[in-house]
Amino acid sequence: MSMHDARNPKPTLELVAEHAGVSRATVSRVVNGSDRVKPAARAAVELAIRELNYVPNRAARSLAQGRTNSIALVIPENTAKFFADPYFAKVVQGAAQYLADTEFMLTLLLSTEADPVKTTRYLQGSNVDGALVLSHHADDRSYADLGSVLPMVYGGRTMSTDQKDIYVVDVDNVAAARQATEVIIDRGRTKLAIIAGPQNMGAGLDRLIGFKQAVEEAGLEPVAIEIGDFTPASGRRIMRQLLDADVRVDGLFAASAQMGFGALQALGEAGMKVPEDISVTSVDDDSFARNSTPPLTTIAQNPERQGEIMAELLIKRINGEQVPAWSIVDTRLVLRASH
């Protein structure tokens, strides 16, 4: 038999709090699944909920909190690039897996540089409770001021230094590039080149910095610094240009496995032997790294874990909890035949 008064058949949050001898906020935290509740208080609330037969009205709660229980994953890239890059799929997978145990749905927004305004308008229009943003370009200011009105977490550092409310989950791209370059230097190679990523993206810029650090520490000078766009086509084109210009290279760091894959194609077509004639390393342990000829020595990023941490931090932010401004995802060196 229920212990609450029959004249008040629908127990309220307040009644549960009174019955458990705790504050309304404590009951709310237990109902919302927060871990910021002392075990004794949690036990008292759970007992009161059972005894009073209290059923939280999730729809009403969402309405009262102004919640949609929806999160946007924003990819400011064209659709073709999104579907071609395994990195995006892995981050989405990690975020979706984390959110599967929550009430939140994941909405994917592919926002081209041509029309960021539509995406910004959607994000500002109370359609979602927060946003995860991947692949952020420096010249894309469209999300710059959203952080003050919508909880956001970025996958990869933004280039803007003046933005407030910035929360980033990323690998240490400088360290990753430095380690990949050191592998080449340890092979005794001295004519080093880089096919770097776009310099208007954090990863592109930081991996170039890491390469330069490793080369400088070894007392060497790079023979070529070329900028690609993280695609296989750019890696192939740039490697061809270096070969056609007769630039002597015996060590190449490609700032993504896709560009490394393309560079290895060009080297194969030119009759260059890898690693006998040239050592090649990259960042990303994906299908491009594994299926290149020969398979690429690379730095594995663990994008699933990145997606998982991004989702976890965003939900904490939506719930008003404090989270670190920076979270670093561990990387590891994967040795294969290309170096």
Tens of pLDDT, residue by residue over 3-48, are 444 445 567 888 889 989 998 888 888 877 777 888 899 899 889 8
Residue 199 sits in the same domain as residue 252: yes
Residue 338 lies in a domain: no
Tens of pLDDT, residue by residue over 126-137, are 889 999 998 766
Residue 90 sits in the same domain as residue 112: yes
Residue 268 lies in a domain: yes
Residue 244 sits in the same domain as residue 320: no
The whole-angstrom separation of Cα 183 and Cα 260 is 15
Residue 336 lies in a domain: no
What's the N-to-C CA distance of the chain in angstroms? Answer: 73
Indicate the pTM of the whole model.
0.78
Residue 86 sits in the same domain as residue 195: no
Cα 297 to chain centroid distance, Å, stands at: 22
Residue 99 tokens, joined: 């959110």
Tens of pLDDT, residue by residue over 39-97, are 899 899 889 888 888 876 655 555 556 688 999 998 877 787 888 889 999 999 999 99
Q: How many other C-beta atoms can be found within 10 angstroms of the C-beta atom of residue 136?
A: 24
Residue 311 sits in the same domain as residue 166: yes
Q: What DSSP designation does 146 have? A: G
Indicate if the alpha-carbon torsion angle 29, 34, 39, 43 is positive or negative: positive
Structural domain harbouring 147: 70-171+303-330
Residue 339 lies in a domain: no
Residue 46 lies in a domain: yes
Residue 121 lies in a domain: yes
Residue 239 sits in the same domain as residue 98: no
The CATH number of the domain where 231 resides is what? Answer: 3.40.50.2300
The CATH number of the domain where 46 resides is what? Answer: 1.10.260.40
Tens of pLDDT, residue by residue over 298-311, are 999 999 999 999 99
Q: Do the Cβ atoms of 69 and 105 come closer than 8 Å? A: yes
Residue 210 lies in a domain: yes
Indicate the pLDDT class of residue 187, thresholds 50, 70 and 90.
Answer: very high
What are the backbone angles phi and psi of residue 81, rounded to the nearest 5°? -65, -40
Residue 99 sits in the same domain as residue 79: yes
What domain count does the chain have? 3
The whole-angstrom separation of Cα 180 and Cα 333 is 8
Residue 80 lies in a domain: yes
